[in-house]
Structure 1
């Protein structure tokens, strides 16, 4: 009887450690190369999603249509964010500065808000951004998953080449060194 309890206890401890490890890994920032999706654990249809991405369009906060095909021919950094996501709003000033410094260099930044349109409009009135923002809504989570964000977490960024090829994915907050690397992709 005592031996059985010890085995159950050991099995529960192993399961608990495994679960905690997976949870820890899931919520850590990850940067992966799109060129090696199998190695990064991102096997799936990211290539097909990358192709279909260019046929999408989103409303802007002021109600205009924003077509993804209009960004072809430029290196495009797409950042999925939400007003309720602290790391997202922390990185937006850095992304805005990066855009302003690089917009003349054939590099474009696009924010896709995975949020309620009214919340995004209110947030942008207080903290305007110089790069375009598309209203992806809750569908933005599925779009980010199709581009390799398996967990659907925010913030999530992808970088496309000027020819539309998916080059990089980053789960978690963007760092200055990420932006420096991406700026060299010209």
Structure 2
């Protein structure tokens, strides 16, 4: 069973899984179960991103997959039909103020090193949406999942626009399937 370790600072280390590795869904599901044991099963999943940018569509794809999986009573915000993104995140938090005191799992795409592309990271603590493209948005979540969809460091908006949809869809599928399995539903 995959476990998140404890880092040198006494905090919990992230668990990273390559989406296409053998057993990736099981390994990511085990990491999520570990998060749930420490903090409880999420009450809300907020999937951040937009389908107007291929690389940033990871969150809405995961959200749409989870809606289709019928994971009630867990509420899912951020889908292809109704995305949560930089322009409406603050408004969404105002519309659902209980979100700030709920067990929220935040899901978002990220940019990173070439060797990390395709990896999904499960972490404790709030997600800082938009950090990879220098946006100042409110942190969100008791824990979060990020998927490294492309290389960061230069012309981030262009890189996100030119990310392969195939990669993003496969990563979204892995995350969604692992989440359903982590709840014992799959």
TM-score class normalised by the smaller sequence: 0.3 to 0.5
With the length of structure 2 as denominator, give the TM-score of the two structures: 0.33
> Which one has a larger percent helix, Structure 1 or Structure 2?
1
> Which structure is larger by alpha-carbon Rg, 1 or 2?
1
